[in-house]
Structure 1
Amino acid sequence: MLSAVLIFVLNSCKKDSANKWDIKIENEFPNVKLTDISKEFYDSTVSLEEFKKQYPWFQGSVTDADYSARRADSAEIKIYKEAIAKIDQQKLKTELSSLFAHIQYYFPDFKTPQVYLFSSDLQMAQDPIFLEPKNNYLFIDITGFMGENNPNYKGMDLYIQKSMNPQNIIPKVSDIIANQLIRPDAKHQKFLDKIVFQGKILTLQDVFLPQEPDYLKLNYTQKQYEWCEANEENIWNFFVENNLVYSDDARLEERFMSKAPFSKFYTAIDNESSPQVGNFEGWQICRKFFKEKPNTTLQDFLKMDAQTIFNEAQYRPKVD
């Protein structure tokens, strides 16, 4: 049983960390423009009419009276100033430029988005990044990256706060874009299909962010990633022994793939486990596939169904 054998190995051997996607891009990196919308929003020298004219899509259903009140709200301004101070904008521009260059290398039709920083006054802090494809706008809510245990996050689940640090911005942007580039197959919804799809998303993160630490791509802490590495074989054996691999039980997604403080094996080990272990296993299946089929192009791989990837990967994890 998992409860007997799934043990966190503190001194586990390190795996081969070579990333086949860590290539040198010869083309000039794209120029990224960052626009801090909230800087102007809270600037009393900028009239509301000027602001609305410059950002006509920003208003939505908010009335001018509400906008005026918000612009003068000292508590809201304080949160904005604290949040923006956490962001190294030059570093962010450089990292976004590298990310977009890697995406364009494999997806030539990808166009560099206009990037907007803004403060939602914590209203969007737990889901702080979104793409507006019509105009190719990328929005980043800076209040979502003020650092775990920030006093402003009081009352928010600690497991969510773990990925609310400035270092999580780029992996989250990468994840959002990867999910725009590929879509799950609605006809195939077995557990294997779902975890391999997430493996594809994480493979794209390997491609787009070849030097980014793996744990950040999963919104993990380093310790959570090491736990999965140490227990990869045991997790997979649990899936196999409990006939979960080809199950169509929708509850498995919530147990092993959703954001949560831990995964739900329904054993004594649960509280020690990392969340989203299904995503981790799907990622390892995809990585094993490329070890077995190194000459497969990324585009061909992305078109493959989960069963083909699994069969050709010959995935039988063995932790040394």
Structure 2
Amino acid sequence: MKQFLTILIAVSLFSCKDESKVEEAVAQIPVEFKVERFDQVFWTSKPEDLQKVKAQYPYFFPANIPDSTLINKLKNPLLKELYKEVQMKYPNLGKIENDMEKLFAHVQYYFPKYKTPRVITLINEVDTDGRVFYVDTLALVSLDCYLGKDHRFYVDFPEFKKFEFEENQILPNLVSSFCYGKIATPTDRTLLSAMIYYGKELYMKDKLIPEYSDADKMGYTDLQLKFCQENEYYMWSNLVENKLLYDSNPKNEQRFINPAPFSKFYLEIDNQIPGRVGQWLGWQIVRSYMENNEDVTLQELLEMDAKTIFENSKYKPKKQ
């Protein structure tokens, strides 16, 4: 036992030292950008300013949208109120801007061909499907989607989705958007493949926003994360015993992967189990794989198939 603890401590110290070297290298990467507040530019503009604004931000103004529609939007009382609420919440973006700077430095460390993007904030009328966009040289953030879970504008959203409206979800959402197209698409519809696909995305958050908590990376509350940590063995055992890992029934994704008020194990305690636990378990498998295969690069991981990762992960949660 003593020898095992010595080895465990040595591995932990080596891992911390390795991570420290990465952070030292990341800190040396120059990142220069200024957040462009398109939300302020557009909503403080006058009809006579529109042509100038359209020339500066052409991708926000489809050719088939007449100026009269834009002018009516500027006069819309509800949208004007939405703009006012955004300005009250975000008069400046100090902390967010600092976090973005760290994110972009980490992106350039792990993906050298990606340079610092142009960053623009906007208001998209609480369109949650388009809350962020981070591709190549452009990063967009819809600030009206991050006013806080208790804001009156979100009253009609289901309770389990309201945590997505917190400020601490901006950076995790940006990473999720950046991941699109970089993670190999699963070659089958098994639950395990879906779990590891999202596990890779969450592992990307480990690397790109390491200072964020696991709860923030998952979009969980601290209590939801604690539940997963304390019940990892039981959740995993249930999936194994019911032979769900290699099952291709699409209902499994609805039960364990997709956003939901709770995960559906069909147990009496289901309403205590956070939604998306399949993603969380997939994350632990990917973490275990990378801890046991230190020579594998992040890019190699993203391209690897789920079966290879799982079989070489040595993942075996312990009973609490």
Which of 45, 48, 51 is residue 49 of structure 1 equivalent to? 51
Structure 2 residue identity aligned to 1:42: W
Structure 1 residue identity aligned to 2:113: D
Query: How many Å separate the matches in 2 of 1:174 and 1:318?
Result: 30
Query: How many Å separate the matches in 2 of 1:125 and 1:285?
Result: 29
Alignment partner of 2:205: what SS? helix
Report Cα offsets for 1:9-56 as digits up to 9, x if no partner. xxxxxxx9x876463224234112211112121214561222222222
Structure 2 residue identity aligned to 1:233: Y
Which of 57, 67, 71 is residue 74 of structure 2 equivalent to? 71
1:58 maps to 2:52: no
Query: How many Å separate the matches in 1 of 2:228 and 2:304?
Result: 26
Relative to 1, partners in 2 of residues 1:289 and 1:49: Cα closer, same or farther, differing over 3 Å?
Answer: same
Matches for 1:133-144 after TM superposition, within 5 Å: 133=136, 136-144=137-145
Contact 1:21 1:206 in 2 (8 A): no
Contact 1:80 1:121 in 2 (8 A): no
- Hey, which bits of structure 1, 4+ residues long, moved more than 3 A? 18-22
What's the TM-score once normalised by structure 1's chain length?
0.88
Equivalent residue, structure 2, for 1:208: 208
Relative to 1, partners in 2 of residues 1:180 and 1:92: Cα closer, same or farther, differing over 3 Å?
Answer: farther
Alignment partner of 1:100: what SS? helix
Equivalent residue, structure 1, for 2:8: none
What is the aligned-residue identity percentage?
29
Larger helix share, 1 or 2: 2
Query: How many Å separate the matches in 2 of 1:302 and 1:59?
Result: 35
Report Cα offsets for 1:202-255 as digits up to 9, x if no partner. 111101011110111111111111111111111101100111011111111111
Equivalent residue, structure 1, for 2:182: 181
Q: Give the paired residue count.
A: 300
Structure 1 residue identity aligned to 2:110: Y
Structure 2 residue identity aligned to 1:169: I
Please tell me the root mean square deviation across aligned C-alpha atoms, in Å: 1.9
1:91 maps to 2:95: yes
Equivalent residue, structure 1, for 2:123: 119
Equivalent residue, structure 1, for 2:3: none
Alignment partner of 2:240: what SS? helix
Equivalent residue, structure 2, for 1:11: none
Equivalent residue, structure 1, for 2:85: 82
Where do 5+ consecutive residues of structure 1 fail to align?
Answer: 1-15
Deviation of the 1:127 alpha carbon: 4.1
Contact 1:41 1:51 in 2 (8 A): yes
What's the TM-score once normalised by structure 2's chain length?
0.88
Deviation of the 1:298 alpha carbon: 2.0
Alignment partner of 2:290: what SS? helix
Alignment partner of 1:140: what SS? strand
Structure 1 residue identity aligned to 2:191: F
Alignment partner of 2:153: what SS? helix
Alignment partner of 2:58: what SS? coil
Matches for 1:1-320 after TM superposition, within 5 Å: 21=19, 23-24=23-24, 25-45=26-46, 47-60=49-62, 61-87=64-90, 88-122=92-126, 124-125=127-128, 127-131=130-134, 133=136, 136-185=137-186, 187-320=187-320
Deviation of the 1:126 alpha carbon: 5.5
Contact 1:257 1:279 in 2 (8 A): yes
Contact 2:191 2:245 in 1 (8 A): yes
Where do 5+ consecutive residues of structure 2 fail to align?
Answer: 1-11
